[in-house]
Amino acid sequence: MSGRGRPRQFDRRAALRTAMLLFWEHGYAGTSMSMLTASMGITSTSLYAAFGSKDELFREAIRLYDSPDSSPTERGLREPSARGAVEAALRGNADAYVDPDTPPGCMVVLAGLNLGSGQEHIGRFLAQNRREVRARISARIQRGVDEGDLPASSDRDALAAYVTTVMHGLSILARDGCGRDEAHQVVDSAMVGWDALIRQYEEGTVAARQPAE
């Protein structure tokens, strides 16, 4: 009599990636527990045992999405010049947002839309994640100032806000169905704007904002 086969091993990382794609496509509010368990191929009991709760699963999915190994922003910011880092981050994200193998747009920007009552903490979590990305961009710009790559008067926070606003706009364009060429045309225009801002700092026609007392 042949023995029973060994039970299939639970691939936690594969299940997490499946959940990430669901949250990315449908958002936190639009992704139900039944959708998660059906797509992950596990029971709700197993989901709770492996991840704790839907909230914790979502937070872990965001961390997977935004991990340094996979983040176009992190890769871009490693470029040696500040301008090159900004452009690489924008173009890398543009490519990621329109990748046909994944849902369109940025998960961190789009997954928190249409949150209902009692889900405000998810909105706060995503907002904090976006602030952290903006802070990393700001730090890279400050490095450019410190290294003499950017004018000393450059307002790193204003420039970081400019870059992240372009990123978020690209995410919405991608969700609306734009293609790669259109996304990169937006980056082309954004870099023209970047160069104009830097010239203003060089010429002293605009100065960094002073912190409020």
Asked if residue 88 and residue 48 are part of one domain, the reply reads: no
**Does residue 160 form part of some domain?**
yes
Asked if residue 55 and residue 102 are part of one domain, the reply reads: no
User: CB count, 10 Å around CB of 27?
Assistant: 18
Query: Would you place residue 9 in the very low, low, confident or very high pLDDT band (cuts 50, 70, 90)?
Result: low
Asked if residue 52 and residue 29 are part of one domain, the reply reads: yes
Q: Which of 50, 65, 80 is the last residue of a domain?
A: 65
Residue range(s) defining the domain that contains residue 19: 11-65
d(CA 65, CA 68): 9
**Per-residue pLDDT averaged across 77-102, rounded?**
98
Query: Would you place residue 35 in the very low, low, confident or very high pLDDT band (cuts 50, 70, 90)?
Result: very high
**Per-residue pLDDT averaged across 81-91, rounded?**
98
Asked if residue 26 and residue 104 are part of one domain, the reply reads: no
Asked if residue 106 and residue 187 are part of one domain, the reply reads: yes
Angle among Cα 7, 41, 129 to the nearest 5 degrees reads: 120
Q: Is the pLDDT of residue 124 over 60?
A: yes
Domains held by the chain: number: 2
Q: Is the pLDDT of residue 208 over 80?
A: no
Q: Is the pLDDT of residue 4 over 50?
A: no
**Does residue 5 form part of some domain?**
no
Tell me what pLDDT residue 21 has.
Answer: 97
Tell me what pLDDT residue 155 has.
Answer: 97
Q: What is the CATH number of the domain that holds 59?
A: 1.10.10.60
Tell me what pLDDT residue 151 has.
Answer: 97
Tell me what pLDDT residue 119 has.
Answer: 95
Of the chain, the percentage scoring pLDDT greater than 70 comes to: 92
Asked if residue 133 and residue 111 are part of one domain, the reply reads: yes
Asked if residue 192 and residue 155 are part of one domain, the reply reads: yes
- Residue 105 has, within 13 A of its CA and on its CB side, a CA count of 21
Q: Which of 65, 87, 108 is the last residue of a domain?
A: 65
- Closest by CA to 11, choosing from 46, 59, 35, 44, is 46
**Does residue 2 form part of some domain?**
no
Chain mean pLDDT for the chain:
92
Asked if residue 80 and residue 36 are part of one domain, the reply reads: no
* CA distances, 26 to each of 17, 117, 194 (Å): 14, 18, 33
Residue 52 identity: G
Q: What are phi and psi for residue 16, nearest 5 degrees?
A: -65, -40
**Does residue 33 form part of some domain?**
yes
**52-80 pLDDT, tens digit each:** 999 999 999 999 999 988 899 999 999 99
Asked if residue 199 and residue 121 are part of one domain, the reply reads: yes
**Does residue 49 form part of some domain?**
yes
Tell me what pLDDT residue 148 has.
Answer: 96
**Per-residue pLDDT averaged across 95-113, rounded?**
96
d(CA 173, CA 182): 9
**Does residue 95 form part of some domain?**
yes
Tell me what pLDDT residue 5 has.
Answer: 40
Q: What is the CATH number of the domain that holds 176?
A: 1.10.357.10
C-alpha R_g of the chain: 21
**140-197 pLDDT, tens digit each:** 999 999 999 999 999 999 999 999 999 999 999 999 999 999 999 999 999 999 999 9
d(CA 97, CA 119): 25
Asked if residue 75 and residue 39 are part of one domain, the reply reads: no
Q: Which of 33, 48, 65 is the last residue of a domain?
A: 65
Asked if residue 98 and residue 54 are part of one domain, the reply reads: no
Asked if residue 94 and residue 42 are part of one domain, the reply reads: no
Residue 131 identity: R
